[in-house]
């Protein structure tokens, strides 16, 4: 895997979000190049996970972005490879656990509790007010940082020892 600086990737994720990409896209796109995945494909495969999956306000898109990155870093190529699947799931659980430890939940509606959170599929206009009212930026920062730590292999030895 190519070397990278987590702080640079966090800034990329914020830049993506502030230019109109959703939370899942922002986290994933910050690292897509590490897997030689073209930008158009990366945008398409992540778009539906924004807004708590299709704006249903369920699982936070930042955690979905982390999970997708784990699939590229720790893939399960052979469906009968129980060890690979266990490692992948344990990595995802570790990342989501770190996020949940900080915010108490991965539920989009709960994370956005101070905002009107309807499930109308029409996205909110991306205005300067949208970005100042919304706490999503801090979730993107933390998820991108956690994902970067995972991609650098920080959790792997601990998890392999535990499973």
- Percent of the chain with pLDDT strictly greater than 90: 85
Q: Evaluate whether residue 123 is within a structural domain.
A: no
> In terms of residue numbers, what domain contains 43?
6-116+135-162
Predicted pLDDT of residue 85: 98
CB 146 within 8 A of CB 101: no
Q: Evaluate whether residue 42 is within a structural domain.
A: yes
Band (127; pLDDT cuts 50, 70, 90): confident
The string of pLDDT tens digits covering residues 69-109 is 999 999 999 999 999 999 999 999 999 999 999 999 999 99
- Percent of the chain with pLDDT strictly greater than 70: 98
Q: How many domains does the chain have?
A: 1
Q: Evaluate whether residue 90 is within a structural domain.
A: yes
The string of pLDDT tens digits covering residues 25-39 is 999 999 999 999 999
Angle between helices 6-18 and 136-151 (to 10 degrees): 140
Q: Evaluate whether residue 124 is within a structural domain.
A: no
Band (116; pLDDT cuts 50, 70, 90): low
pTM for this predicted structure: 0.95
Place of tokens 């101070």: 114
Query: Is the pLDDT at 115 greater than 80, yes or no?
Result: no
φ/ψ of 107, rounded to 5, equals: -85, 120
Q: Evaluate whether residue 105 is within a structural domain.
A: yes
Q: Evaluate whether residue 125 is within a structural domain.
A: no
Distance, CA of 48 to CA of 21 (rounded, Å):
11
Q: Evaluate whether residue 101 is within a structural domain.
A: yes
Q: Evaluate whether residue 81 is within a structural domain.
A: yes
């Amino acid at each position: 895997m190519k070397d990278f600086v987590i702080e640079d990737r966090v800034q990329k994720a914020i830049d993506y979000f502030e230019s109109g990409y959703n939370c899942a896209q922002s986290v994933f796109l910050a690292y897509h190049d590490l897997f030689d995945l073209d930008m158009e494909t990366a945008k398409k495969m992540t778009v539906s996970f924004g807004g708590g999956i299709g704006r249903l306000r369920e699982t936070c898109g930042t955690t979905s972005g982390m999970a997708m990155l784990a699939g590229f870093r720790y893939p399960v190529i052979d469906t009968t490879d129980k060890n690979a699947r266990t490692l992948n799931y344990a990595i995802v659980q570790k990342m989501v656990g770190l996020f949940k430890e900080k915010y108490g939940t991965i539920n989009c509606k709960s994370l956005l509790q101070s905002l009107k959170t309807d499930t109308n599929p029409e996205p909110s206009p991306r205005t300067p007010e949208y970005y100042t009212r919304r706490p999503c930026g801090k979730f993107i920062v933390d998820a991108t940082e956690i994902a970067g730590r995972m991609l650098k292999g920080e959790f792997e030895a601990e998890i392999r020892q535990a499973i």
